[in-house]
Amino acid sequence: MNVMGDKATLFETGRFVQPSGEEPTRDEAAEAAEEARRRLQAEGGDVEAMSVLGAMLLRRGDLDGAEPQLRAATAAGDRAAANNLGVLLHQRGYPDEAAGWWRIAAVAGSAAAAHALGRHHRERGDEPAAEYWLRQSAEQGHPLGAYALADLLEHRGDATAGQWMRAAAERGHREAAYRLARALDRRPAVGEEGAGGDVGAAVETAAGAAEAAEAEQWYRQAAARGHRRAALHLGAILEKRGELKEAGRWYLTSAKDGEARAACALGFLLRDAGDTENAAIWWLRAAQDGDGNAANALGALHAERGETQTAERWYRAAMDAGDDNGAYNLGLLCAEQGRTAQAEQWYRRAAYAGHREAANALAILLLQVGDTSGAEPWFSKAAEAGSVDAAFNLGILYAGRGEDRVALRCYEQAAAAGHTEAALQVGIARLREGDEAAAELHLRCAAGGGSAEAAYRLAAVLDARRPTVSEHELGESSLNVKTECEEWYERAASQGHRRAQVRVGMLAAARGDVVEAARWYRAAAEAGSRNGAFNLGLLLAREGSEPEAAVWWERAADAGHGRAALRLALVYARRGELAEGQRWADRAVALGPAEVSERAGRLRDALREELSA
């Protein structure tokens, strides 16, 4: 058994021990002088000097010199000497004799001895005796006794453990402060059950905020006393809050004390600040201490630089450190290099270890090589483990088989977790079913997540609710204020959605804003929209630029737009180019729709008669 707790606290004399448990720093000459003075006093029969001298020699490791001094002081009734004699005997390998002296000191009122005796009984499995002596120590205000009692009670599941852990923390015990902070961090928010409505939510939020603030306070206390894990957690809290400079200082403190996770976190902080060189230094330090996350980060850094062999080495190191991301990243690296067989091997290794994204990647790989039956169970496994992408991919798989109801359930699972494209698919399905309210809800989620198609479809839903106006080819409207549907059309259009661009152009034309209309029609036309090209042609023709209009109509007609072909036929007929007019009329008849085919047919026949006249 090692010396229990803080050595300086156990060496209880009250004359040279600091309350914080840290030994004072003295130069060797002063130490030697103090020892000589105490030795002279001890030789003169001074019991206090014997006790202090014995403690000094014990702290130095001179057990042979310390024992006679401590025994003499103990025989004279010095309880601190009895406690320290117990420590000495324990170090010599006589735990039972040590416990006897601790008992004498504890009965005499030594809190340190009661703590040591309690620890002794706990290690021998005598929990009732351990609790008795630890409680004696804790009730006298001994921080180590309070902490050991809290640990014992917590092990039993006793609800009073928390109060003793708090007592130890309040008396400066850094591990108690850390554990109290962790308990507050992990505690469910007050009001989670039984509170209803906005008031309950407000109570829950306030309680959670208060506990988070208290946890931070205890982390600070423990970190200030040199607790490296507390410094790590404090850094994480500050980083999440955006206080990056202070977070970096605590990560650095923790990393210098040997906390690999802090070194890794510091590396990410530096990388995000653009300092990849220093980030790599800290990742290297953390990786060498066995941090798999840091090894993965180094692998990714080298992969970005094209140093694939070095990247692979670090990914393997991460895997050896027990980080399944290492195998997953090896799979990604091999897949990028076209080494499909090796990629499958690494994906499988990570997937079998429970890595959900590896399971999803494996399923995609199998799907790419045509193994649909092999892909499905991996998609399912990944989705069940919480992979949003896998749930969406599983939906695509079922939809491809025509199992629309099953596909919809998968899309709904992914949409509930915030998957934008899945929300779009659910919205589309609800529109097909006629459930416009549910469709609008999902389309709003998808559009808010950045889906241009969802924004366009949402705009179309809202557009359909607007009052009906007279229909014109370009349209006319007295509305001068943009509606919500127009705003969604514009959002989709600004993301390059061609149909939305055409619609925004039409709405602008309806407001009389020809310049804006032309801008959006042109954007759509240049992106390949035949409707955009046709409408741009109409706009240019009305502005008197029929030759340019004909260019855009030709582009639209070549893309299969029947009305554009009919317009071209009319243009060439007016110019007297009857053969060309007839050719475009034939094209318009073929392209349709029915109304266009009928008009184009009449024009074609008329042109044919003129040509044969």
Mean pLDDT, range 48-69, rounded to an integer: 94
Query: Residue 590: inside a domain, yes or no?
Result: yes
Asked if residue 593 has a cis previous peptide bond (ω within 30° of 0), the answer is yes
Pair 191, 204: CB distance under 8 Å = yes
d(CA 55, CA 97): 18
48's tokens: 């206090």
Candidates 500, 454, 502, 498; CA nearest to 474 is 502
Residue 203 pLDDT > 80, yes or no? no
Per residue in 156-182, pLDDT (tens digit) is: 999 999 999 999 999 999 999 999 999
Q: What is the pLDDT of residue 612?
A: 80
Query: Residue 570: inside a domain, yes or no?
Result: yes
Query: Residue 599: inside a domain, yes or no?
Result: yes
Query: Residue 462: inside a domain, yes or no?
Result: no
Query: Residue 357: inside a domain, yes or no?
Result: no
Q: Is 188 helix (H, G, I), strand (E, B) or coil?
A: coil
Q: What is the pLDDT of residue 465?
A: 86
Q: Quick one: the chain helix, strand, coil %, rounded to 5?
A: 75, 0, 25
Q: Is the dihedral of CA 223, 227, 233, 239 positive or negative?
A: positive
Tell me which DSSP letter residue 17 carries. Answer: -
Q: What is the pLDDT of residue 556?
A: 95
Residue 512 pLDDT > 50, yes or no? yes
Pair 564, 550: CB distance under 8 Å = no
d(CA 114, CA 130): 9
Q: Tell me which amino acid residue 582 is.
A: Q
Query: Residue 470: inside a domain, yes or no?
Result: no
Per residue in 278-295, pLDDT (tens digit) is: 999 999 999 999 999 999
Within a 13 Å sphere around the CA of 490, how many CA atoms are in the beta-carbon half?
11
Pair 363, 393: CB distance under 8 Å = yes
Per residue in 460-505, pLDDT (tens digit) is: 999 998 766 544 444 444 445 678 999 999 999 999 999 999 999 9
The whole domain housing 575 covers 561-613
Overall domain count for the chain: 1
Mean pLDDT, range 355-374, rounded to an integer: 94
Candidates 437, 411, 405; CA nearest to 424 is 411
Q: What is the pLDDT of residue 206?
A: 73
Mean pLDDT, range 524-548, rounded to an integer: 93
What backbone torsions phi and psi does residue 290 show, to the nearest 5 degrees?
95, 15
Query: Residue 597: inside a domain, yes or no?
Result: yes
Q: Is 401 helix (H, G, I), strand (E, B) or coil?
A: coil
Per residue in 215-273, pLDDT (tens digit) is: 999 999 999 999 999 999 999 999 999 999 999 999 999 999 999 999 999 999 999 99
Query: Residue 601: inside a domain, yes or no?
Result: yes
